[in-house]
Structure 1
């Protein structure tokens, strides 16, 4: 059955590509690192908004559980009977989104995009602090990506292909589940609006 809409799948793969490009250009200190970061920032805002007004399985209210639920799921004390992200997967989504937003924010601060909106005494003017936060944030994100890839491998070994589901949008489901999917046009309009606003902000 269909569980993932096109916007969520497009976001997932674009995030993977942009994050990889960010790491390569960042650590090599060459290439369009800032431009890629701004594209990632727009993508993140799109995902956050889609998590509020998008399809059921894309909404945060559908898959975000408490940290206790995530731990209990990992320990086998709690089962996941629904579709979409399990409690641990939902927590991973929130962690990665939060860290990516933080990384983009720090990167934009380093580039001076917030200079007109902060005081001269703000910590956002501390170049050394920003550089350290950006570096350690990158290391932490790569660690989370490693955990994510390990989880995918474990599920694959158990016969559940998460990669295939994120490509096709479909996954075998024993029990019929009522889901709703929002229009792809709505997602496209939101993305265009975000892109236009960000372009105006960084060029203003």
Structure 2
């Protein structure tokens, strides 16, 4: 008989805007990194769409639902230290919204997408066309983004196990259901 008691009741966490942003951005990143030809029109348009998604998410971070707002999860140094110490010593309390490390990753991913959008745009302008340093920045940011995405996926799997919640399902349904 399983006597495990869920630490928290099921809760509505991520609204539709957050979930559509997440999965649309994931699809765009996968398309541009794995499927579309670099520099071609579809690659550029998917990149611009990714930037637009990030800009919408930034606005939503100020006006959206409680768990969408940056103020509810912004990864301050003290929040990060406490979160990492709790994980290290096995005293972690499940997060209803983004935990501080997840919030930091989210902000890093969005920053990388914005940097890719800016450098990609620059490569198509008269002022920077053919400049190797702009192309190098764009390629380096794309490489860093790939690593960050892999780390994000690994962390989501790990935190799902630690918190006993299916984070992928929660990002689809918007509801966190602890086991």
TM-score scaled by length of structure 2: 0.81
CA distance in 1, matches of 2:150, 2:36: 18
> 8 Å contact 1:25–1:32 — kept in the other structure?
no
Alignment of 1:162-173 (within 5 A): 162-172=167-177
RMSD: 2.5
Distance 1:160 1:82, change over 3 A: closer
Deviation at 1:155, TM superposition (A): 2.5
Deviation at 1:27, TM superposition (A): 6.2
Match of residue 105 from structure 2: 92
Aligned residues: 165
CA distance in 1, matches of 2:48, 2:97: 29
Identify unmatched segments of 5+ residues in structure 2: 1-10
Match of residue 8 from structure 2: none
Residue number among 52, 56, 65 corresponding to 1:46 in the alignment? 56
> 8 Å contact 2:166–2:177 — kept in the other structure?
no
Deviations 1:88-115 (A, max 9, x none): 1111111111111111111111122xx6
Q: Secondary structure at the match of 2:176?
A: coil
Distance 1:131 1:28, change over 3 A: closer
CA distance in 2, matches of 1:67, 1:103: 26
Match of residue 66 from structure 1: 76
Runs of 4+ in structure 1 over 3 Å off: 25-31, 77-82
Distance 1:83 1:157, change over 3 A: closer
CA distance in 1, matches of 2:82, 2:130: 41
Match of residue 155 from structure 2: 151
Deviation at 1:160, TM superposition (A): 1.5
